[in-house]
Structures are given as C-alpha cells and as structure tokens.
C-alpha cells in the first residue's frame, strides 16, 4: 500500500526587505523551490521553480546569548557520538546535564508551573476583569487565573475538570463543587430547573478518567422529568445502582477500563487505586472509595456492550430472548453455513469437501483458576450461556451425574501427567478452564468454555466439545486434542450418557481426530502416523496448537477480525512459494526413482489414506543398523560362542567383541583429540594447554591397557591396520568388519543430518538475518555445522578405508562394496542440490541419500524403505501445502462473504423496532448503519490489501494443485475462479 501524503499547499512568499546595519537593502539570491504533488493513486509529480529571496542577515554574534535566558532556544549541542554510538539522539541530548541542556530547562518549566506564571502579575480575573483571580483549571488550555464565578461559568460544559486555588503562597486542590458549581440534569446546559431535586445527601461521586470527583448534582423534578438514572445516562454517566444512586462512572472511564483489561490486564482494584491517587496523592483516605460500586458497574457495562454488539437492542423480542451462544463473535473465516458458504456446499465433490471442513482444537488452561469465594447461587451470571461459556446450570447438572469411567490407555498414560498439573485444587472452585477453539484462526467458539473442577477430565472436555458442536452444521470436522488418541476411542459411547440436545448425529459426517504437532512426540510410535497433522489429508499446513497460543493474547475479539486481513495475506504470501518448492522437490524426487516403484508406492499410500488398516508406508519395518545395535548382536554371538567353547579366548575378562569395540572407541577418541589439539593455537591459555595434556595422558594410559590385552603387542592397532603378514584371529577380523560397516552407516546418517541442518541454516539466514552482528553470528554457526559435515565425512572415509584393508585379509563378506561407495567431495551435497553443471530438470540425488540404514542380508530392502519413507513424507508435505493454498483462497473468500452477510444483517436491523421515540429511533438506525458501515469498510480494506497479492492468489490455482488429484470438472468454480472474481 502506498503511503499517501497531503500535497503541500503552495504559498506566496513575500520578501520582507529588512535593512541591514548599514541601512542598505540586502542583495537578492535565488532559492530553489520544489513543489511535490501526490494524486489519489499515490503517484507524485514535482515542479521546480527559483524564487528570488533576500540573503539572510549576517549572523548575530554569540555574545548576545551570554546573558542566559531559559526561554531562548539554546545552541545545538555537540553530540557525543563516540561514547554512545547507538543511542537515540533525543535521549543523548538528555544525558547532557550542563547548563542549557534539556534536563534543567525542562525541570525549571515544571517548577515554574507551580507558580501562577504570567497570570501572577494580573490583579484582576482573566475574564470579568473585576474580581480578584484566585483559581486556575488544571485542564483547560489557557492556564489563566479566574475568579470563582467566572471559573464556574466556564465549566458548565466541563463539570469534571480539576481545579486549584492560590492561597497566597502555593496552589491547593479544590473542587468545582466547593467553588459553587451545581450540575443540573434533565435540562439544557445553562438552564436551571424550576423544581430541582438535589441528589440524596448531596454527596454524589463521579468516577472519570482524571480522578474521582465529588460533585454538586441536581436532578430535574419537573412534571415531565424522566427517571433519575435515565437523566444520568443522558449525560453519559453510568449509575452505580438503579435506585437513588450516589455514585456514577462516566462512559469514558468504563470504556477506557474495558480496553485496558484487554491490553494490560489491570485489575479493577489497581486501576481504581491509581485513579484515587490521581485525585489526591497525599491523602488517599480523603478520596471516596467506590471499589464495590465500580466493580459492579464494569460488569454491567461489559454485559450491555456485549448485548449492543450482538444486536440484542435491535431485536423486538428483547434481551430475554437471547439464544445460547448468540452474543459470541463468530469467526468470519471458518465455514458458517448460511453466512459465508455457497448454497450447495454440502454437494461439493468428496475430495473438495475438506475446504468446508471445520478445524477445531480442545485445550485446558490451569493458570485460570477461580478461588472458592463465591458461587453461582450467590453471584449468578448476567448472560447464562449467551456467549463463550456453556450454560452453567446445565453444565454443572451434567457434571453432577459424574459419569467418568477409568479407561485403559493404549498410548502413554497421559492422564497421569495431566493430573500432576492439578494437585493444588484444594480451595479452588475451579482448577482451570477448558475450551474449544477454531485452530486455523484462533477464535473461541460459542458455548465452548467451561470450568474444570479437578483436572482435565473426559466428562468436562466431552461436554465442552459436544456443547460447542450443538449449534454447528458440518460435514467434515477435524478435532485436535493433545490426548486425542485416547479421548476419541469411546467418545461416541460416552456421548449417549449426555442430554439428547448435545448428541451429534454422525450420519453422513466425518470426524477426524489428530494430535497437535508439538504434543505428538510424547506419544507412542503408532500415534505418530495415525494422528499426525503432516500425514492427514485435507488439513493444510496446521500444527493444531491454536488454543495454547490463544491464551497468551486474548485480545478484543472485534480487533481479531480486523487483523484477519493482514494475517491471511501474510499466510498466502508464505504458502504459495513454499508450496511450489515442496511440489517441485517431490516431483524431482519421484523422477530420480524407478517409475514402477513410484507407481507402486502411490497406489499403496493412496490405499492407506482411504483405509487406515492398509499397510502404512510411513512406518519403518527394517531396523536401522547402528554401532550400538551391532555391539549388542556381537555380544549375543559371543555368548553363543562361549557356550560352544570353540571361541578364541583372548583374555579372561574381555571378549573379542569387546576388544574391537574398545579399540574403535579409542580410535575415535584419538581422532577427536587430534582435532581438538589442532584447534589450540598460540593464543591458547595455560589452562587449556594443561587440560589438553591431561586428556592426552589419559588416552595414552587407556591405549596401553588395551594393548596389553590385545593378542598382538602393538600400540593401538586394530586388526585392519595390521600388515597382512601379522597373523590375527579371524574372529577379530570378522568383528571389526561388522563394526566398521556399522560405523560407515552411522557416519552417513550424521552426514545427512548435518547437511540438512546446513541447508536449514542457509535458508534461515537468508530469510531472517539482518544486521552485521547477527550475520556474523549466523555465519559462525554455519561454519561450525560445516566442520561437523567434514568430521562425518572423515569418519566415513576412515571406516571405509579400514573395510578395504580388512577385505585384503581375504574375508569373503564383501556385500558392503555395492552400498558403501567412495565418498568424493562432490557427493557431499544436500538432498535437493544437483551436481554442478546439471540442468534443473536433470538433477540427481547424490548416492549418499540412497543409502540409509541398510541391514540384514537382503541388500535392497533397507535402501528402498528409507527412500519410500522419504518419498511419502515429501509427497505429504507437497499435498499439505497445496491444500493450504486452497484453504487460504477459500478463507479469503469466506471472510469477504461473511462481512457482506453481516453488513446486510445490520442493515436489516435498522427498522425492526416500533413505538420508539424520535431520539431512540434515530439511535437505533444510526447504530445499525454504523455497524453495517464498519463491516463494509473492513471488507473493502481487505479487498484492497489482498489486491496487492492477486498474482499470488492466481498462482494458487492451476498446475501445482495436480498433486492433490482433484476432480477439476466438479470443482471447477472453486479451483479455477480467477482472483478478480473470487474477491469480487
Ligand atoms: Zn471573573
Ligand atoms: Zn477547565
Ligand atoms: Zn426540570
Ligand atoms: Zn476460524
Ligand atoms: Zn497417543
């Protein structure tokens, strides 16, 4: 969006011909004047002209400022840029404590205002010019002194200003009431009622943003007088009670506090105390304490605002007819049948149905506790189940039935962990709250919040879930919950124990249960694929974590709608290029594999997506070979050998497998030590050098010990490094061969991880790093990752060299040769990078990626499996991103449609009420029109900012979606609608 600037208005410059000291007119010079105009579209045009102007008069000499006067502008300060190179110049000025500097100048001005200023010399009132001026208003702009009568007259329209009285030496606070101001309600300003009725006790208190005011208040008590509280409300003062109130709060302060609770979470108590201090900071006890009253008013105010926003004041049926959940702000991007969905959404082809699916998440928050200080009976809610909370009575009635059966967990025992969270529930009425949110947009859903009594029990969460769904139409639902794998098992059975109105008819509907990404690693392996957002069709790019994020910022919900424009734009800007990359890399990957294999896997994975009981290609069946695994296998072999007694006993305590394993470990320690000591240069400290020497000594000792038990007497020679003529027991040779092979695989595996990390670091750097310092730090990290890449490569090469040597001892187990190739420098490249000189389309995978966890006898099985899993994951990633782009397009459409619908809804509410007074009717129409206007202007704002990414949205259709294999004919309007029409 281009920033629009107002065009500078041109001006006529009249040269003032000032005579200089010699009495001669100053010589003219030419001043360049450029005029810049901006038109509506933000394009600028400029015209340059030269204006003749007199030269500046000669600079006055510094001596004139010698007589320092703090009213004058001081000479600019020499900024000390060497001491504070990063400091804000404004603040730097303030660090200068020398005489003309701002701190002292500002301070003097603050103190000056404690006196009467220029009014101090005036003997008469600034207005009537007669009386002695003794009063000043702290808030009126003038700062002048007035007599009591004039000040009172001046404040007829500002009766809540704070004033002060000059007692001859200093100012003291006083009130307008004390100097004689009476506030007359029920009449026009300045008009006196013929039959005024002073507020009971004449001690009325008004709470306003600038303090707590005691005011002289008179109601109108004429024949035509309105109810007293109505008279207060007319003046935008909210009465604390409907009957003879003696406290009111201005609408201003209620609105202010309402906003503050969202932004700063200030408590009523703290807030009111700050106001009381503001009124009288010396003696707070002199200020009337209206805490209870304010608490009550705030509560009522929120309630009224909610009703107003929900249009309840525009409904002829009135407030009592409010339906359950009606006052909740709905998510404009979620599917809302009848509001933002096409009429035939239920008939959409099956594979497109996901676009209309609801994505919800359940969560519990144990920080929001409520102490046992009151109860629903003593302190009932004003809006039972009208917005986000479930209707409390029904909820607690159901909880009282206490139907909670212990269920055996088929996964980790999640409940044990959850209960650990909630041990401190002794004197709490509720130990937390549970909620159901839409996870794509983070909106709380109507009737979906409830108290938790003792931890996160199924009975609570079931109720919240069913209650949240009870007013919702859907065909597909994806439900995310951190223990979904357990919760869903008997959910529908448990549902039967709930009141009929909460039952969900599952006929023709699909409900998918998933576990949020962040929680998934805590689950058993089976859950990792069955409940994964990554591997599930039709969920786009979701992590399922919305509820947890939502707790940190519960902002006003209406502003959440306003943010939707920019957040959806940001999402689609990220998703479209990411989608293209994922699709490309999947296609490339597929190309590098044998076509028949890809075809076979495609069929298998599609079958699995349709039916979970089919073979799951994401799960590894071949166990990976690791050094640890081989060691274990060898130990078992040793044990078997000992039993057979045919083994070569090398040492009483040490088996051959142990010997080789120890040897390999010592060898790698040696390598590490060599590398580390190479890093120590001339700058190394004494301590570092000593430490290094200690490590060397210790390793030498261990190697010596190893040598004494080895059957040949040479310093750390593993069988592979023995010359061919030195005899070595074949068992040892065989063992080392196996361990070396495992070492190769491990090294390759490390290499994969480090290369992935390196790619990630580069990407991260390009995307996020600004500034030199951050850049250097990132570069250092990349450097250290590169060192790890090198180390893994060396490890592989060493291990492979040993393998070569071992085979020269004519060992026949040569299967490794086909799999473990020579590692050349150019082989070390990330998954997605081709060899140099290769064209994009012909990129091939480096062989290192095709060898993962090979094991057992069947050579190909392990390789195939690694590739298959990688391929399936790549496919899933590409599909999720493609879905995400379609999701975002649909959501953008839905938001616009929803705002349209809502604007129309408000339009329609303008003329529903009858029998109103003229004033009331105007208000009703004005408010509804304003609400409709807000929706429409929001819509056009979104439309405008989304226009900037029409191109991206255009990219959201077409070829890249082929991966989803959608039925284009059926979904033509959805998939191929050009953005202009989509957003029209
Ligand atoms: Zn006066
Ligand atoms: Zn004033
Ligand atoms: Zn009156
Ligand atoms: Zn939503
Ligand atoms: Zn699980």
SS3 sequence of 631-694: HHHHHHHHHHHHHHCCCCCCCCCCCHHHHHHHHHHHHHHHHHHHHHHHHCCCCCCHHHHHHHHH
| More confident call, 76 vs 363 | 363
The predicted structure's pLDDT at residue 480: 92
How far is it, in rounded angstroms, from Cα 357 to Cα 470? 16
pLDDT bin (cut points 50, 70, 90) of residue 811 is low
- Ligand 2 midpoint to CA 259 (Å): 26
The half-sphere exposure of 118 on its side-chain side, counting CA atoms within 13 A, is: 4
How far is it, in rounded angstroms, from Cα 928 to Cα 909? 6
The predicted structure's pLDDT at residue 779: 77
The predicted structure's pLDDT at residue 624: 47
How far is it, in rounded angstroms, from Cα 842 to Cα 836? 11
Report the pLDDT averaged over residues 439-465: 86
- Ligand 2 midpoint to CA 923 (Å): 30
- Ligand 4 midpoint to CA 597 (Å): 40
Contact in structure between 382 and 307 (CB atoms under 8 Å): no
Ligand nearest to the CA of 445: 4
Residue from 946, 950, 952 nearest 979 by CA = 950
Ligand nearest to the CA of 220: 3
Q: Quick one: tokens of 850?
A: 């095709």
- Ligand 5 midpoint to CA 704 (Å): 50
List pLDDT tens digits, range 398-426.
Answer: 888 876 666 677 777 666 555 544 545 56
Contact in structure between 42 and 32 (CB atoms under 8 Å): no
- Ligand 2 midpoint to CA 126 (Å): 14
Q: Quick one: tokens of 89?
A: 């110049």
- Ligand 1 midpoint to CA 149 (Å): 6
Q: In what order do the strands lie in the sheet with 443-452?
A: 443-452, 432-438, 358-365, 476-480, 510-514
- Ligand 5 midpoint to CA 807 (Å): 47
pLDDT bin (cut points 50, 70, 90) of residue 68 is very low
3-state helix, strand, coil in the chain (%, to 5): 50, 10, 40
Contact in structure between 256 and 271 (CB atoms under 8 Å): no
pLDDT bin (cut points 50, 70, 90) of residue 893 is confident
Q: What percent of the chain is modeled with pLDDT above 90?
A: 24
List pLDDT tens digits, range 617-673.
Answer: 676 554 444 555 555 655 665 566 555 444 444 455 666 777 777 777 777 777 777
Report the pLDDT averaged over residues 6-35: 46
Ligand nearest to the CA of 145: 1
- Ligand 3 midpoint to CA 214 (Å): 22
| More confident call, 493 vs 863 | 493
Left (φ > 0), alpha (ψ -120 to 50) or beta: where does 455 sit? left
The predicted structure's pLDDT at residue 788: 79
- Ligand 3 midpoint to CA 199 (Å): 14
- Ligand 1 midpoint to CA 146 (Å): 5
78-82, 401-405, 798-802, 967-971: least confidently modelled range:
967-971
- Under DSSP, is residue 288 helix (H, G, I), strand (E, B) or coil? coil
Q: Quick one: tokens of 270?
A: 């703290």
Phi then psi for residue 163, to 5 deg, are -125, 165
| More confident call, 435 vs 524 | 435
- Ligand 3 midpoint to CA 870 (Å): 84
Contact in structure between 54 and 29 (CB atoms under 8 Å): yes
How far is it, in rounded angstroms, from Cα 134 to Cα 548? 59
Q: How many residues does the chain have?
A: 984
- Ligand 2 midpoint to CA 179 (Å): 13
- Ligand 5 midpoint to CA 34 (Å): 70
Q: What percent of the chain is modeled with pLDDT above 70?
A: 70
Which H/E stretch holds residue 888? helix 859-908
Ligand nearest to the CA of 186: 3
pLDDT bin (cut points 50, 70, 90) of residue 835 is very low
Report the pLDDT averaged over residues 90-117: 81
Domain boundaries, the chain: 182-309, 356-554, 580-603+874-982, 627-855
Strand pairing report for 196-198 and 510-514: unpaired
- Ligand 1 midpoint to CA 142 (Å): 14
Angle of the 730-768 helix axis to the 627-644 helix axis, nearest 10: 170
How far is it, in rounded angstroms, from Cα 754 to Cα 692? 27
Neighbours of 65 (CB within 10 A): 14
The predicted structure's pLDDT at residue 308: 94
Contact in structure between 831 and 727 (CB atoms under 8 Å): no
Ligand nearest to the CA of 357: 4
Ligand nearest to the CA of 532: 5
pLDDT bin (cut points 50, 70, 90) of residue 298 is very high
How far is it, in rounded angstroms, from Cα 917 to Cα 897? 35
Ligand nearest to the CA of 530: 5
- Ligand 3 midpoint to CA 787 (Å): 89
Neighbours of 455 (CB within 10 A): 18
Contact in structure between 586 and 963 (CB atoms under 8 Å): yes
Ligand nearest to the CA of 195: 3
Contact in structure between 329 and 557 (CB atoms under 8 Å): yes
pLDDT exceeds cutoff 50 at 520 = yes
DSSP 158-189: -TT--EEEE-SSSEEEE-TTTTT-EEEPSS-T
**Which residues are close to ligand 4, an ion, with C-beta < 5 A?**
331, 333-334, 438, 441, 443
Ligand nearest to the CA of 191: 3
Ligand nearest to the CA of 542: 4
- Ligand 1 midpoint to CA 428 (Å): 61
Ligand nearest to the CA of 415: 5
Residue from 172, 136, 129, 174 nearest 154 by CA = 136
The predicted structure's pLDDT at residue 310: 92
- Ligand 1 midpoint to CA 192 (Å): 21
- Under DSSP, is residue 927 helix (H, G, I), strand (E, B) or coil? helix
The predicted structure's pLDDT at residue 646: 42
List pLDDT tens digits, range 539-568.
Answer: 888 776 654 444 444 444 556 677 788 888
pLDDT exceeds cutoff 70 at 517 = yes
- Ligand 1 midpoint to CA 115 (Å): 20
Neighbours of 734 (CB within 10 A): 19
The predicted structure's pLDDT at residue 739: 81
How far is it, in rounded angstroms, from Cα 355 to Cα 339? 16
How far is it, in rounded angstroms, from Cα 280 to Cα 212? 9
- Ligand 4 midpoint to CA 940 (Å): 20
- Ligand 3 midpoint to CA 209 (Å): 29
Report the pLDDT averaged over residues 872-887: 85
- Ligand 2 midpoint to CA 197 (Å): 26
- Ligand 4 midpoint to CA 811 (Å): 65
Ligand nearest to the CA of 162: 2
List pLDDT tens digits, range 901-955.
Answer: 999 999 999 999 989 999 999 999 999 999 999 999 999 988 888 877 666 666 5
Q: Quick one: tokens of 862?
A: 């392990």
Contact in structure between 805 and 811 (CB atoms under 8 Å): no
Ligand nearest to the CA of 147: 1
List pLDDT tens digits, range 254-292.
Answer: 999 998 887 777 889 999 999 999 998 888 788 889 999
List pLDDT tens digits, range 379-397.
Answer: 788 888 898 888 888 888 8
The predicted structure's pLDDT at residue 728: 72
List pLDDT tens digits, range 219-252.
Answer: 999 988 999 999 999 999 999 999 889 999 999 9
Left (φ > 0), alpha (ψ -120 to 50) or beta: where does 915 sit? left
The predicted structure's pLDDT at residue 79: 54
Q: Quick one: tokens of 604?
A: 């298998």
Ligand nearest to the CA of 895: 4
204-208, 524-528, 530-534: least confidently modelled range:
524-528
Cα 361 from chain centre: 16
The predicted structure's pLDDT at residue 649: 44
**What does pLDDT average to over the chain?**
77
Neighbours of 5 (CB within 10 A): 11
- Ligand 3 midpoint to CA 190 (Å): 12
Residue from 499, 326, 523 nearest 417 by CA = 523
How far is it, in rounded angstroms, from Cα 945 to Cα 897? 16
- Ligand 2 midpoint to CA 715 (Å): 96
The predicted structure's pLDDT at residue 307: 94
């Amino acid at each position: 969006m281009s920033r629009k600037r107002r065009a500078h208005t041109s001006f006529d410059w009249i040269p003032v011909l000032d005579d200089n000291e010699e009495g001669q007119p100053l010589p003219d010079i030419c001043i360049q004047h450029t005029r810049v105009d901006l038109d509506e579209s933000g394009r600028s045009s400029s015209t340059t002209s030269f204006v003749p102007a007199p030269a500046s008069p000669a600079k006055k000499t510094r001596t004139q400022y010698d007589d320092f006067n703090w009213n004058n502008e001081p000479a600019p300060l020499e900024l000390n840029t060497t001491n504070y190179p990063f400091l804000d110049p404004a603040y730097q000025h303030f660090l200068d404590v020398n005489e003309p500097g701002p701190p002292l100048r500002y301070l003097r001005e603050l103190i000056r205002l404690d006196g009467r200023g220029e009014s101090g010399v005036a003997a008469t009132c600034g207005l009537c010019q007669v009386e002695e001026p003794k009063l000043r208003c702290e808030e009126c702009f003038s700062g002048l002194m007035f007599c009591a009568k004039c000040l009172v007259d001046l404040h007829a329209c500002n009766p809540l200003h704070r004033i002060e009285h000059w007692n001859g030496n200093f100012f003291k606070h006083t009130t307008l009431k004390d100097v004689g101001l009476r506030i007359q309600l029920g009449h026009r300003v300045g008009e006196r009622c013929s039959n005024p009725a002073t507020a009971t006790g004449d001690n009325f208190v008004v709470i306003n943003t600038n303090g707590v005011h005691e005011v002289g208040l008179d109601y109108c008590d004429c024949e035509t007088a309105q109810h007293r509280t109505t008279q207060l409300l007319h003046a935008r003062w909210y009465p604390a009670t409907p009957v003879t109130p003696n406290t009111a709060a201005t609408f201003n302060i209620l609105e202010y506090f309402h906003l503050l609770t969202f932004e700063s979470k200030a408590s009523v108590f703290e807030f009111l105390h700050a106001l009381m201090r503001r009124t009288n900071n010396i003696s707070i006890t002199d200020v009337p304490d209206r805490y209870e009253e304010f608490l009550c008013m705030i509560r009522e105010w929120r309630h009224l605002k909610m009703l107003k926003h929900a249009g309840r004041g525009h409904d002829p049926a009135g407030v009592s007819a409010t339906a359950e959940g009606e006052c909740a702000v709905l998510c404009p991007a979620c599917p809302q049948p009848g509001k933002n969905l096409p009429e035939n959404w239920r008939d959409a082809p099956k594979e497109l149905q996901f676009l209309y699916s609801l994505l919800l998440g359940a969560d519990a928050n144990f920080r929001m506790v409520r102490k046992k200080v009151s109860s629903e009976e003593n302190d009932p809610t004003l809006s039972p189940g009208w917005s986000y909370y479930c209707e409390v009575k029904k909820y607690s009635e159901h909880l009282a039935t206490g139907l909670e059966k212990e269920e055996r967990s088929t996964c980790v025992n999640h409940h044990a962990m959850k209960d650990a969270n909630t041990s401190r529930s002794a004197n709490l009425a509720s130990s937390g709250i549970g909620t159901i949110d839409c996870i794509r947009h983070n909106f709380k859903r109507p009737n979906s919040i409830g108290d938790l009594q003792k931890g996160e029990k199924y009975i609570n969460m079931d109720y919240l879930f069913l209650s949240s769904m009870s007013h919702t139409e859907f065909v597909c639902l994806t439900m995310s919950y951190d223990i979904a794998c357990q919760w869903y098992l008997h959910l529908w059975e448990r549902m039967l124990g709930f009141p009929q109105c909460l039952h969900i008819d599952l006929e023709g509907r699909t409900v998918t249960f998933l576990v949020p990404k962040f929680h998934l690693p805590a689950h058993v392996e089976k859950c990792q694929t069955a409940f994964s957002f990554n591997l599930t069709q039709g969920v786009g790019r979701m992590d399922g974590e919305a509820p947890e994020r939502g707790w940190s910022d519960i902002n006003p919900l209406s502003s959440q709608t306003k943010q939707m424009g920019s957040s959806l734009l940001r999402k689609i800007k990220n998703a479209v290029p990411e989608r293209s990359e994922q699709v490309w890399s999947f296609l490339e990957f597929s190309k590098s594999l044998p076509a028949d294999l890809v075809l076979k896997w495609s069929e298998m994975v599609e079958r699995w997506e349709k039916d979970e009981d089919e073979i799951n290609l994401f799960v590894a069946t071949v166990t990976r070979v690791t050094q640890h695994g081989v060691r274990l296998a060898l130990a078992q072999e040793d044990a078997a050998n000992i039993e057979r007694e045919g083994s070569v006993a090398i040492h009483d305590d040490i088996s051959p497998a142990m010997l080789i394993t120890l040897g390999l470990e010592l060898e790698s320690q040696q390598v590490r030590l060599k590398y580390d000591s190479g890093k120590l240069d001339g700058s190394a400290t004494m301590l570092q050098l000593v430490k290094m020497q200690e490590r060397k000594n210790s390793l030498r000792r261990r190697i010596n010990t190893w040598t004494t038990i080895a059957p040949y007497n040479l310093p750390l020679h593993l069988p592979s490094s023995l010359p061919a003529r030195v005899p070595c027991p074949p068992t040892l040779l065989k063992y080392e061969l196996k361990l070396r092979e495992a070492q190769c695989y491990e090294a390759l595996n490390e290499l994969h991880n480090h290369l992935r990390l390196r790619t990630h670091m580069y990407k991260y750097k390009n995307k996020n790093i600004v500034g030199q310092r951050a850049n250097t730090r990132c570069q250092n990290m990349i450097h250290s990752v590169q060192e790890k890449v090198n180390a893994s490569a060396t490890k592989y090469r060493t291990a492979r060299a040993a393998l070569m040597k071992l085979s020269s001892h004519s060992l026949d187990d040569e299967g490794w040769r086909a799999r473990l190739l020579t590692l050349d420098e150019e082989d070390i490249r990330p998954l997605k990078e081709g060899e140099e000189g290769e064209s994009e389309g012909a990129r091939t995978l480096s062989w290192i990626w095709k060898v993962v966890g090979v094991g057992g006898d069947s050579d190909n099985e392990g390789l195939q499996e690694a590739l298959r899993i990688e391929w399936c994951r790549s496919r899933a990633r590409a599909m999720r991103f493609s879905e995400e782009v379609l999701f975002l397009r649909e959501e953008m459409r839905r938001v616009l449609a929803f705002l349209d619908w809502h604007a129309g809804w408000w339009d329609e509410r303008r003329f529903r009420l009858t029998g109103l007074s003229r004033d009331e009717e105007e208000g009703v129409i004005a408010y509804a029109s304003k609400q409709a206007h807000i929706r429409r202007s929001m819509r056009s704002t979104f439309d405008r900012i989304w226009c900037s990414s029409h191109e991206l949205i255009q990219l959201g259709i077409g070829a890249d979606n082929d991966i989803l294999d959608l039925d284009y004919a059926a979904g033509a309007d959805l998939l191929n609608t050009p953005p202009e029409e989509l957003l029209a």
